[in-house]
Amino acid sequence: GAGVSQTPSNKVTEKGKYVELRCDPISGHTALYWYRQSLGQGPEFLIYFQGTGAADDSGLPNDRFFAVRPEGSVSTLKIQRTERGDSAVYLCASSRGGAYNEQFFGPGTRLTVL
Amino acid sequence: QQPVQSPQAVILREGEDAVINCSSSKALYSVHWYRQKHGEAPVFLMILLKGGEQKGHEKISASFNEKKQQSSLYLTASQLSYSGTYFCGTETQGGSEKLVFGKGTKLTVNP
């Protein structure tokens, strides 16, 4: 079946601009996660959704970052007033939830802020 | 707090074995292992739960020492396809679903 998809695959923007990153999870997966990965580092947790609600947003770095999942499926990560330090690969993952909640990752969106 | 992985990098010849360790300063509920090839998404390998249950890849094994707050991933008879960066992700609270990943261990398998 189809895996997790993310669009766009690459996004180049200028400092101060607004960007939206989209994630389409695996059909039927109730849990959705956003991570950020910088070069040479492991994925860094940003936010986790169970259904439509954000169950844990403790990883969002500041109030410029916001994510939604209005219908419990597709999610959008929104970054306002982008800064050069926001440049990274943004990964989305989904899972069925529960004890064996293996997370299936999407290919990521590479964000470059000039 | 971020788990510590060791070694940072390892180079093997095909057929050799390797062990990758993951250590946490906090009590763990579960440990997840992923492999990531350059430019690709992380791929699930294994989950180990507090209490001894585990689920994962057929050819890869792992251990979870709750007392020592450590997990180890065992790669035996390595194949070229095992090359990549291995990450452990730790969950400190059952049901939290939040994984904190280590910095990774880069494994290179040469012919």
| Residue A99, pLDDT above cutoff 70 | no
The tens digit of pLDDT for each residue in B13-64 reads 999 999 999 999 998 889 999 999 998 999 999 999 877 777 777 678 899 9
**Mean pLDDT for the stretch of residues A87-114:** 91
Q: DSSP string spanning B33-59? A: EEEE-TTS--EEEEEEETTS-EEE-TT
Measuring CA to CA, which residue among A3, A28, A1 is closest to residue A105?
A3
Count of A–B CB contacts within 8 Å?
62
Separation between Cα atoms, residue B104 and residue A3, nearest integer Å:
24
| Token code pair at residue A62 | 């500041």
pLDDT of residue A102: 86
d(CA B56, CA A28): 21
Query: Given this model, what pLDDT does residue B53 score?
Result: 72
- List of chain B residues whose C-beta atoms are within 8 Å of the C-beta of residue A34: none
**Among the partner residues B32, B97, B101, nearest to A56 by beta-carbon distance:** B97
Cα of A25 to nearest chain B Cα, Å: 14
- pLDDT tens, A40-82? 999 999 999 998 998 899 999 999 999 999 999 999 999 999 9
Q: Residue B93: pLDDT above 80?
A: no
Among chain B residues, CA nearest to A4: B41
Which DSSP symbol is given to A103? Answer: P
Name which of A7-11, A100-104, B75-79, B105-109 the model is least confident about.
A100-104
